[in-house]
Amino acid sequence: MFTALKDFIQHNPTLVKAALILLIFIAAIFIVAQMFSSEPTATSNKIAGVWFVDLTTGQTFKVEPSNVPPIASPQGNPAVRAYHYQCAGSDEKFIGLYEKYTDAGKKQMEELREKLNNPDSLEEAYAMGSVLDEEKIKRLSVDGETWYSIDDPELEALITEKLTCPDGSIAQRVPGN
């Protein structure tokens, strides 16, 4: 097999060069398209926006990642971070987890973001959250009404129940969310 390939390359050098140039050109187009894409990728550290939900109306909306929940919705109602999930094989997305901070926690996260000297560095602040006592400042909910400390033993069971799909699998978080 390698002999046939070697013979083909030796007898068709112009065709082989043209094919290689075409492959390099296609790869360059792909790389440039990824660089200018507004959609976040698995390797992207930037988030185009994050989802929040108005707790009064149930409407979701995107905001800059620098917002620390809770915030005021465009209608002026309380709004929190919303994480969308989806079961395999389903087009339906649903809010599987709601997130907010206590008043003291929100203040600490905003101060940490400022220390990082970048108003859009909330994701870095989240990553550095280990310097904060998240058990005391972060609250999660599966329904947007009852809030739990992240170390509450009841929370894990509630999340598992909420994210269990009809086929018994666990829903996956929607990318870029």
Tell me which residue has tokens 């058990």: 135
Q: Examine the domain organization and report whether 113 and 77 are in the same domain.
A: yes
Domain that holds residue 21: 2-36
Question: Lowest-pLDDT range, 7-16, 97-106, 127-136, 147-156?
Answer: 127-136
Kindly state whether residues 32 and 62 are assigned to the same domain.
no
- Do 16 and 74 sit in the same domain of this protein? no
Report if residue 44 sits inside a domain.
Answer: no
Same domain for 97 and 30: no
Q: Are residues 146 and 60 in the same domain?
A: yes
Q: What is the pLDDT of residues 94-120, one digit of tens each?
A: 999 999 999 988 988 888 877 776 655
Q: What is the mean pLDDT of residues 44-73?
A: 86
Looking at residue 86, its pLDDT comes to 96
The yes-or-no verdict on residue 25 having pLDDT over 70 is: no
3-state secondary structure 9-77: HHHCHHHHHHHHHHHHHHHHHHHHHHHHCCCCCCCCCCCCCEEEEECCCCCEEEECCCCCCCEECCCCC
- State the pLDDT at residue 32: 64
Establish if 29 belongs to a structural domain. Answer: yes
Structure tokens at 115: 């220390």
Q: Which of 5-9, 59-63, 122-126, 164-168 has the lowest mean pLDDT?
A: 122-126
Q: What is the pLDDT of residue 124?
A: 61
32 and 111 housed in the same domain: no
Count how many residues are written for the chain.
177
Q: Is the pLDDT of residue 125 over 70?
A: no
Is residue 142 assigned to a domain? yes
Overall domain count for the chain:
2
The larger pLDDT score, comparing residue 96 to residue 130, is at 96
Do 8 and 67 have their domain in common? no
Given this model, what pLDDT does residue 121 score?
Answer: 56
Confidence of residue 42 (pLDDT cuts 50, 70, 90): very low
Say what the pLDDT of residue 8 is. Answer: 76
pLDDT given at position 43: 38
138 occurs within a structural domain: yes
84/135 same-domain check: yes
* Mean pLDDT value of segment 135-159: 90
Q: In this predicted structure, what is the pLDDT of residue 41?
A: 41
In a domain, 19, yes or no: yes
Average pLDDT taken over every residue of the chain? 81
Q: Is 147 helix (H, G, I), strand (E, B) or coil?
A: coil
Residue 43 lies in a domain: no
